[in-house]
């Protein structure tokens, strides 16, 4: 899943693709590099970010989604608003990627159920302006799993098809780098995979990577200088059985997925059938696109 931030203030590339024409070209470039899905978002969810209006979010994303969809690109929309998601689906989006898991807008699950599109339910405890104050856990792995499953129960009650649900542990969202929450979730990805739902991993360029790679004087590695570490996580996540990875640079991560797939295929019989690599692997793409996803190993949010 390649990232297209149509924003002036996203943490990793704020403003680079804010112009619609540049965003469209970037989306096409990501597909050429091997992206199976292009994730278009018009609202930054970096720590401290303030929300934009619904009208502004629509103005940012709809033209980009329409243009990419017209080119046959499988597009997902990164939004917390049901009205934006509905307009995006009407414009051609095939998946809704909701970082709030339906908590920010109670109408989102009903909209997803009505349109029948796949739905990424991310672990979330609050909006960007105060989410880090909520990064308090006794057992981050167990609590994230349990909170996600409660959200799944809630969206199922609104009529969402269970075969259309994807889970995302929400790395960087209400997760403390100092407490190692993100690393614990990555180390125990099998806990989420064991739920039977496909899992999306979004570690690309996130702050916990910059902290890990800090210079001896404590200066953190810049966001856009964490791509090699992102590739390492992609390989590990793909080997563990993740359904998809959300990344800013596609080609090296696509290569990592192919390597992990080759190793998994060469391993013990049935290794590719571990939880998470299930029959729902084509959930985010049409049947016509699922072969491309399979060729890349069926594996492929800090903040948007």
Could you say which of 145, 175, 205, 246 is catalytic? 246
Sequence length of the chain is: 304
Strands (E), the chain: 2-5, 38-41, 75-78, 95-98, 119-122, 165-168, 200-201, 244-245
Residue 257 to residue 253: CA distance in whole angstroms: 6
**Is the model's pLDDT at 291 over the cut of 50?**
no
- pLDDT tens readout for residues 52-93: 899 999 999 999 999 999 999 999 999 999 999 999 999 999
Could you say which of 145, 205, 206, 221 is catalytic? 206
Question: Looking at residues 126-130, what average pLDDT do you find?
Answer: 72
**Is the model's pLDDT at 285 over the cut of 60?**
no
- pLDDT tens readout for residues 137-156: 999 999 999 999 999 999 99
Average per-residue pLDDT in the chain? 86
Residues 299/257, Cβ–Cβ less than 8 Å: yes
Q: What is the pLDDT of residue 74?
A: 98
Which tokens go with 84? Answer: 């934006």
Question: Looking at residues 277-287, what average pLDDT do you find?
Answer: 42
For residue 246, indicate whether it is catalytic.
yes
Helix, strand, coil shares of the chain as percentages rounded to 5? 45, 10, 45
Nearest to 230 by CA among 258, 202, 199: 202
For residue 206, indicate whether it is catalytic.
yes
Reduced to 3 states (helix: H, G, I; strand: E, B; else coil), residue 158 is coil
* pLDDT grade for 131, boundaries at 50, 70 and 90: confident
Partnered with residue 165 across adjacent β-strands are 119
- pLDDT tens readout for residues 200-227: 999 999 999 999 999 999 999 988 899 9
Question: Looking at residues 162-184, what average pLDDT do you find?
Answer: 95
Q: What is the pLDDT of residue 2?
A: 97
Partnered with residue 4 across adjacent β-strands are 40
* pLDDT grade for 102, boundaries at 50, 70 and 90: very high
- pLDDT tens readout for residues 223-267: 889 999 999 999 999 999 999 999 999 999 999 999 999 998 887
């Amino acid at each position: 899943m390649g990232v297209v931030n149509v924003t002036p203030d996203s943490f990793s590339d704020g403003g680079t693709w804010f112009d619609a024409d540049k965003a469209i070209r970037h989306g096409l470039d990501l597909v050429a590099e091997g992206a199976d899905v292009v994730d278009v978002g018009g609202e930054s969810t970096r720590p401290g970010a303030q929300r934009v209006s619904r009208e502004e979010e629509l103005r940012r994303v709809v033209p980009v989604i329409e243009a990419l969809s017209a080119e046959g690109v499988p597009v997902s929309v990164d939004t917390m608003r049901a009205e934006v998601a509905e307009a995006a689906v009407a414009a051609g989006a095939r998946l809704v990627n909701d970082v709030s898991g339906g908590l920010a807008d109670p109408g989102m699950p009903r909209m997803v159920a009505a349109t029948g599109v796949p739905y990424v339910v991310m672990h979330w405890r609050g909006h960007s302006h105060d989410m880090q104050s909520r990064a308090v856990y006794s057992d981050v792995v167990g609590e994230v799993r349990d909170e996600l499953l409660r959200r799944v129960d809630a969206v199922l009650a609104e009529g969402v098809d269970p075969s259309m649900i994807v889970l995302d542990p929400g790395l960087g969202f209400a997760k403390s780098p100092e407490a190692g929450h993100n690393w614990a979730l990555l180390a125990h990805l099998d806990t989420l995979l064991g739920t039977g739902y496909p899992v999306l991993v979004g570690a690309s360029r996130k702050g916990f990577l910059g902290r890990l790679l800090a210079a001896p004087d404590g200066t953190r590695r810049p966001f856009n200088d964490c791509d090699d570490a992102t590739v390492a996580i992609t390989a590990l996540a793909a080997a563990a059985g993740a359904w998809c990875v959300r990344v800013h640079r596609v080609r090296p991560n696509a290569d990592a997925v192919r390597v992990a797939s080759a190793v998994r295929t060469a391993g013990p019989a049935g290794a590719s059938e571990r939880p998470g690599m299930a029959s729902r692997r084509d959930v985010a793409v049409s049947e016509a696109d699922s072969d491309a996803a399979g060729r890349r190993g069926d594996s492929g949010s800090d903040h948007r």
